[in-house]
Structure formats: structure tokens, C-alpha cells
Amino acid sequence: MNKIRKYSRHPGLNMGSTDPETHEAAETLLFGFWVFLMSDLVLFALLFADYAAQSQHGVAGGPTPGDILDLKNPFIETMLLLVSSFTFGLAALAMKYRQDRTRLVFWLVVTFALGAGFVGLEVYDFTDMISKGHGPQTSGFLSAFFLLVGTHGIHVSSGLIWLLVLLVQVFVFGLNRNVKTRLMRLAIFWHMLDVVWIGIFTFVYLFGVA
Amino acid sequence: MTGQPFDYFWLGKLSIDSLPFVEFIRDPNSNTAVGAFAKAAAIGGAMGLMVLLTVFGKWRVFWHEWLTSLDAKKIGIMYIVLAMVMLLRAVIEAGFMRAQQMLAVEQPGPLAPEHFGELFSTHGTIMIFFMAMPFLIGIINVVMPLQIGARDVKFPLLNAISLALTAAGAVLIMISLVIGKFSTGGWSGYPPFTELAFNPGAGVDYWIWAVTLSSIGNTLTGINFAVTIYKLRAPGMTWFRMPLFSWTALCTSIIMIFAMMPLTVATLMLALDRYAGFHFFTNALGGNMMNYTNLFWLFGHPEVYIVILPAFGVFSEVFSTFSGKRLYGYHSLVFATMAIAVLSFCVWLHHFFTMGETADLNAAFGIATMLIGVPTGVKVYDWLLTMVRGRVRLTTAMLFSIMFMVTFVIGGLTGVILANPPVDFAVHNSLFLVAHFHNMLIPGTLFGMFAAYYVWFPKMFGFRLSEKWGRISFWCWSFGFYLAFMPLYALGLMGAMRRSAQWFDPQYLPWLVVAFCGALLILAGLASQVVQLWVSIRDRDTTRVPGGDPWDGRSLEWSMSAPPPEYNFAVIPQVHDRDAFTWMKKNGTSYTAPEHYEDIKMPKNSIVAPVICALTAALGFALTWHIWWLTIASFIAVWATVIARSFCQNTEETIPASQVREEHERWLRSVKALKPAPREHETTSANQGLAEVVV
Amino acid sequence: MEMEPDQLPDSEAEDPRQEFREYCIGGILAVLLTLAAFGLVASHWLDTLGCLMVLTLLAVVQVLVHFRYFLHIDLRRSHRDELQLILFTGLILFLMAGGTIWILWNLNSRM
């Protein structure tokens, strides 16, 4: 492995010398997408700050976080999302080293299933809360809760749609440079959503119960 | 609400009352007459444009050369045109507001209070989101890629989509003039006044969606520009060889990336309150309107620097170019710009000192606010010292820049006064504040954009603007500004509150009359700019600058023909100095043919952006009027368009090296035939865009 | 100041097993940290304040693990542009979220 050309690293998995042309194209594209993600993080930071205030000051005689949050489903959701991050990593490795469409598609489908499970469980949780009379119209606290957790859920859902589109493109175009760089961008989007979820399960669910 | 269920399904809350002129026909009076005039002007303007395009058979050109173009220069020019149209509307509204306040001393004015509320809301919203932002983004689009030696921005389609979103917001605001009413909540739209309980009409919704669309567009623009500057600089263009305008463009873009988001969050939360019964900012059930105030100014203060930093960049270029000197204190200007960009995120609380927090908190933010005066002061000294011992040429752009410096310092001083929380308690929400921020934004942003318009217009279109009419507009704007806004300081100290539709103190009258005269003078300034454009286009054959360098420019954008070729540079230049083009001129490497040319890849035109503009405008309109079928359809269509585009494979076209060679050599030959103009003949027809090189 | 050369040395040979191992280490660490956080709350092992502090610490560590092993951000080898961006974002997030919480708490204390 004696490479003369050295590569700088961008976020996410690097194609490096396995596909130098894609690596070079990805460098700027991923930087651009990374900047977008930073802007997206501001969105979440603001929703967290809003939740921090509203969950304390906006209860308005209604239920408090401790009254209505439990840990069972969030724990399952956490594990689903975490494992899906890992399987996306395996998909990326399959794309990088094997140029292996079957293996890539397999791991992408697994990732999709796990993500869909996460969204499904979250939707179930939300409808359950609403049916118990704890909908977002109840109090400032619950408005902030639904907005923060729901925004994350919408992000995951759009990631799922994106994943479907890319699966179609893998079949239509094969693993060309466009498809590869798009998968690389979706990968860092997906990992970043998992990072945001760490904040949610810690500061919303665990803090709420503890 | 009023119609049958069938109508409600198809038309939402639209009814006969929301149609134009119905109000005027039912109850003709001064108030509805002004409304009818505005509606007629808006409809007439749109129809006039279509008639002109049809009569001259320009629809095809309009579509192929402009609307679907991904060329940053053309996108920039479209941004600037949008900004100027909106400027026209907002300044005329300002004239009506000054007239109302003058005529409403101890009696009701000609306009109803609700109507007056719409006027100040649209005036503020337009001036910030649809005049200042598009103007500066337009200038950056035209100039920045040329200045850093790039062929285009990094993401050309995204650039077009950003314009589409901003334009869709502007379309919504124009539609609000014709159908229904706009918000009366001011440009800041504070709840609980803008909540459903107090404002059930469609006005606030128009405001929410117009602002949301433009803020998303601006976030994307910020990302695009920042990546362009980070990744696409020409070889040799190190960070500290980058022209100052590009530096300010970078800092502005970074602020946009981070600061537009709080606004998007705030408006969407307000929308959730209004549409879905959430309790973020309501009075009841744990809502907290202060939360909105906080979010809005988390955006609002950095926004001030978004609109002012590019103007600082323009002034830096103007002072240096028209003094014939290297910019003084380049590094200090760069660091001052960065310092301002960071500090802009540390001071937002000074917009609500009176909201009720403790004195400690107010003091902390008051001190941070005063600190901003330091880097800004550094800049003013640098500009002054750039002019010292230079050969200063008082062109229109230079006049605007000098007037900016004088006026802006006065505005800055009143800003330091307002940064004291105890003083702020006395004058907050008064006309003193209105005078202060106009004193910052008119010289700071508007004069900067005018200067940029005069300097780079020849680069964009290949001919200069009329200097005579430029000077007339300059004097009108300058005197108009002082007459219109200095009285407001006095009025504010006398206790006049902003946004008042009627007064009860006869002592205000003389001041209000003076301010109204100032507003008339400003309108005259604007009118002379319209005349200037007309005269300049008419006489364009005497002011052509085919050489491309009418002002003895110092940076790379002056090194190619005017207007520049689609690909900007025949060959990407090597940069050796901070004043890259001056270096080339002195070393005799400007206007030389390179050894060999290469094929150039440029993005193909795309219909995605105009489609997204139409769809998002429809989406905003549907949301405003609760037309749910259209909401769902247009929302899905927007994303379907984006996904469909991702399946397009051939998005680039290649311009062969032979064509580039031919075009470049033809231009070089035409430059050889030009006579270099000495600077004293800069504003005469002797100036053909080739500067005399003084070694 | 000169511009950083675009290429920084990529010390790691591109070894599929090595990169697979990275994902595995990340996955295992993340699972352990998650289990620790949920276990801590379920077991009521600490008092509330201590519990919140340890939870915050665990979350920060887990974020770092995700950045390192899944996003492959590395202080030594990542591109300088990206590092500048991350650090600046950190500053802005701190100012915005911290400032918001400070202001809203301060206001609430005087209601």
C-alpha cells in the first residue's frame, strides 16, 4: 500500500484511493453538505433551548415531563437508530471496497427497515400520547416536546425517502460518481440524526424521567 | 369560514371581500382610494411587463436567457432587478406614511389605522427581506466569483433555487397588495398580537410564508457562497490576497448560514400556533411570547450585519479604486470584519432591554453592544487613511461612499447612546429608534448598494451610467435623508412613539412637515435614478466600455470584457498580489493571450428554478388562504421536481477550447484598438474601458 | 499567511478490515454508553442532580464517539476547513442555546 497521492479527509467515509475521482468530487460536495448540516444543527439547538425553557416554565398546570414520559419505547427507538447508523456504515464499506451492489443494497434495505421501525414506533408513541389527552395543544411544554421530537422524526422520514430514491438510482444508474457522492452525503445526514437523537433521549427522555 | 362548504374546499377563506377594488367600490374614501391606487399600480405593473414582453417578442429570450439561466451573473442581475422593483414600492409606501403622520396631528389622517399598520409592516418587511437582502446577494453573485477567479458559484442550480424562493416570497407580498390584506404586526411580527386570537385574518399568514420562503432561500445562498469562497479561489489567491469585498461576502454568508435559521424557526412556530393550536407564544396554557422575541432577534441582530457587511466591502473597494491607492490597513479591515461577524451573535438582547430581565443581563449585553463600535471605528479610520494622499476622484460612487461615512458615524453615535439600557428605557419604541436604524441602514446598506450599482453596472452591461443624473440622485438622497430623519430624533425625544397613526401634540407638526419634505426629496432621488437608467440606456453608444476596466480597477473582475463571457475567465488566472489586476497591469501581463486554452464545462440551463418559484408561491398562497388541496399538491410537486431533477444525468455542457480561444482573441484585438483613458477623462466618452497604466 | 496545502497525509492505509473495525468499536461503545445512561436512570443509583450531571457527561462522550467512529472526524487528519467550521458552529450553538436559556430563565425568575 504505497501511495504517492495523499488524500485529505472529509466527514464521513472517504473513498480515498479506491475511487480517486469520486473522492475529489466528494471533497467539495461533502463540505457543502456539511455546512448545511451545521445550519441544521442550529435548528435543533434552538428547539432544544426552547424545550429546556418550556418544559420547565410552560407546564401550565398540565402534565410535567415526569408524569407522561416513560423509557421503554424511547429505548427501543434509540437502539433501532443506533444499529441503523452502524448498518449504514457497513453499506458505505460495501460501496467503497467491493463495488458490490447486492451487499450495498442489502445493508441499505436493513438500514431502511430499522429507520422505518424507528419512525413507526415514534408515530405510535405520539398517537398514544394524543389519545390520552396529552397532545401538543395541551400546554407549552407539550408543544415544545412535539416540535423537537417531531422535527427529528421528520428529518428521519425525509432521510428514508431519500434512501428510497437512491436505491432506485443504484439500480437505474449503477454505482456512478453521482450516486456514490449522494450516498456519502446521505450517510453523514443519517449519522448526524443519530447524534441529534443522543441529545433527545438524554435531555428529553432521561432528564424528564430522572 | 363564510362561504359554502363546497367553496371552502376549493377556495379556502377567499371570498368576494378579498378581491381588489371591492372595498373601494363599496365605500369610496381617502383610505380605500389609496388602497385602490396601490392595487391598480401593482396590477398595471404586472400587465405592463407582460404587454411589453409580448409587443417586443421577448418571451423566448426572457425564458432562455434569464429565467432558466444558471449563470451567477444573470441570477445576480435578476436579484438586483427584484430588489429595485421592491425598493420602488417600499419608498412610495414610506412617502404615504410620512404624509399620513403629517396630516394626522390632532385629527384622523387620510388613512385608517389598520391601513397604516399594513403600510409600516410591508415597508419594513420589503426593505429588509426583499430589497436589502436580494440587492446584496445580487451584487455578490455578480462580483464575488469574478473577484476570486472562479467560473461560477459552487452550486449553480442551488443558486437559482435560492432566487426562486426569494422571488416566490416577493410574489406573495405583491399578491397581498391585490388580494386580501397584509399583516399589521410590523416587520418583526410580535405575538401575541400576531396570534390567531387577535389577528384571525390572512394578513399575518401572508407575512409568515413570504418571510419563511425568503429565509430558506437566504440560508441556501449563504451555504453556496461560503463553499464557493472556501473551495473555488484561483491559484495564488490565498486568504490574505482576497479582495475585501469577497471577505465581507464570506463573513455575510457565514452569518446567513447560522442566523437565518432562528427566523425560520420563529415563523414556523408562530405558524404552528396559528394553524394547529400549539402554545408557543400564546397568552394561555404556558405559551411565552418572550420566546418569540428572543428567537426573532437571534436572527434580527446578525441580520443587521448581513446587510451592512457587504456594503462595507463595497466601500472598501470604492475608496481604494477611486483614490488610486492600495487599501489602507487591509489586515485590520479583515479582522474587524471577522470580529463584527462574531460579535453580531452576542448582542441580540439589546433589542428588548425593556422586556423585564435583570439589570445584570442588560448590562452584559449593553457592553457587548458598545464593543461593536470598536471594529467599526477601525474601519472608518482605515477608509479615511486610504483617501489620504490619494488622487481622489469624486464620481457618483465615491460621493455616496463619503456621504455614507459622515452619516453612518452619526448613526453609530446614536447607537452607542441606545446601547445604554437606562437610556434605552427612555426612548425605546420611539421615533428616536426609527431615526437611529434608518440612519444606519440608509447610508450603511442602501448607499453601499447604490455605490455598487454605479461601480459594477458597466461590468454587467458594458456601458456606464449617466454621471449627471447620478449626481442629482445623490444630492436628493443625501439631503432627503437628513431632512426626513433628523427631525425624527427630535420627535422621539419629545415622546412620539413609532408606528402611530395619529398624534395629539400640536408641537410635533413642524418636525413632521420637515420630515415629509425630506421624504419628497428622497422620492425625487429615486425618480432621478429611474431617469438615469432611461437616459443611460438611450445614450449607451457614447458610454460603452468594451475594454472592461472603466475605473482603473484593482481586482480580477476588471480583467475581462464587459459584459464578461458566460465562463468568466478564458483561462483561470494566477494571482500574485492582493490587487491582482493592478499587479497584472504593472507587469504587463494583462490583455495577453495564454499559451493554450482548455475546454470549459458550464452548467446547462434548467427549468427547475422557475418551476419551484411558481410552486412555492402557490404553496404560500394556499397556506395563507387555507386552500388545503393546493397546499398538499404544490408541496408534493416541489419535492417531486427536486427528485426528478436528481435523475437528470446530462446537466453540463462543454464549451470547446477553440471557441474560447476565438472569443478571447477577438476581445484582445478589440482592446488593442482602444485608446487608454487618463483618469481625468474617466466620466467622458474617452473612457472606453482601458485604463492608462501609470508606472 | 500561506494557504494550507489541500492534501494532508492520510496515515492509515486503506484497509477494509481496519475500517470495519472502526465501525464496530464505535457501535459497541455507543451501545455501552446508551445502556449506561438508561441503566443509570432506571436503577435510581444516584440522586437527581448527580444523575443529570453523569447523563450529560455520557451524552457528550457518546457524541464524540459518533463523531470519531461514524463520521470519521479526527482532530489530526481532518481537513482544516471542516474543523474550523465545526469549532465555529460549536461557538455559535453555545452562544445561541446558552444565551436563550440564560435569558428565558432570567425572565422567568422575575415573573
Q: Using one digit for the tens of pLDDT, what is the confidence trace for B129-151?
A: 999 999 999 999 999 999 999 99
Residue extents of the structural domains in chain B: 13-56, 57-606+651-681
Mean pLDDT, range B660-669, rounded to an integer:
94
Is the pLDDT score of A139 beyond 80?
yes
The answer to whether residues A126 and A68 touch, using CB atoms and an 8 Å cutoff, is: no
Is the pLDDT score of C79 beyond 80?
no
Q: What pLDDT score does A89 carry?
A: 92
Is the pLDDT score of C11 beyond 50?
no
Give the C-alpha separation, C68 to C60, whole Å: 12
CA distance, residue A113 to nearest chain B CA (Å): 21
Which residues neighbour B406 within 8 Å (Cβ) at sequence distance 6 or greater? Answer: none
Q: What pLDDT score does B4 carry?
A: 58
Chain A CB contacts of B279 below 8 Å: 58, 60, 137-140, 143
Provide the Cα torsion B211, B213, B216, B220; round to 10°: -120
Mean pLDDT, range B168-193, rounded to an integer:
93
Interior angle at CA B145, CA B69 and CA B170, nearest 5: 50
Mutant choice from A24, A37, A42 vs B, greatest count of B C-beta within 10 A: A42
The answer to whether residues B173 and B124 touch, using CB atoms and an 8 Å cutoff, is: no
Mutant choice from C86, C101, C107 vs B, greatest count of B C-beta within 10 A: C107
Q: Cβ contact (<8 Å) for B280 and A42?
A: no
State whether residue B533 sits within 8 Å of chain A by CB.
no
End-to-end CA distance of chain C: 52
Mean pLDDT, range B27-36, rounded to an integer:
89
The answer to whether residues A121 and A73 touch, using CB atoms and an 8 Å cutoff, is: yes
pLDDT band (50, 70, 90) for residue C98: very high
Chain B CB contacts of A57 below 8 Å: 286, 288
Q: What pLDDT score does A8 carry?
A: 65
Of B293, C93, B278, the C-alpha closest to A141 is B278
Q: What pLDDT score does B633 carry?
A: 97
Q: What pLDDT score does C75 carry?
A: 75
- The class level of CATH for A21-45+72-209 reads mainly alpha
Is the pLDDT score of B609 beyond 90?
yes
Q: Cβ contact (<8 Å) for B348 and C99?
A: yes
Of B265, B425, B269, the C-alpha closest to B350 is B425
For residue B538, what are the CA distances in angstroms to B397, B454, B534, B541, B563? 21, 17, 6, 8, 18
Q: Cβ contact (<8 Å) for B258 and C89?
A: yes
End-to-end CA distance of chain A: 52
CA distance, residue A70 to nearest chain B CA (Å): 22
Chain A CB contacts of B223 below 8 Å: 32, 35-36, 39
pTM of the complete model: 0.94
- Calculate what percentage of chain B has a pLDDT beyond 90: 87
State whether residue C13 sits within 8 Å of chain B by CB.
no
Is the pLDDT score of C6 beyond 80?
no
CA distance, residue C106 to nearest chain A CA (Å): 11
The answer to whether residues B614 and B638 touch, using CB atoms and an 8 Å cutoff, is: no
Of B616, B492, B545, B541, the C-alpha closest to B211 is B616
Lowest mean pLDDT among A154-163, B419-428, B452-461: B419-428
Mutant choice from A8, A28, A31, A39 vs B, greatest count of B C-beta within 10 A: A39
CATH ID of B57-606+651-681, from 1.20.210.10, 3.40.50.720, 3.20.20.100, 1.10.3720.10? 1.20.210.10
Q: Cβ contact (<8 Å) for B294 and C100?
A: yes
pLDDT band (50, 70, 90) for residue C77: low
Lowest mean pLDDT among B25-39, B323-337, B546-560: B25-39
Chain B CB contacts of C3 below 8 Å: 238-239
Chain C CB contacts of B298 below 8 Å: 96, 99-100
What are B603's strand-pairing partners?
B652
Q: What pLDDT score does C55 carry?
A: 92
Specify burial of residue B452 (Cβ count, 10 A radius: 0-12, 13-18, 19+): buried
Look over chain B and give the mean of its residue pLDDT values, rounded to a whole number: 93
For residue B354, what are the CA distances in angstroms to A142, B371, B429, C108? 29, 20, 10, 14
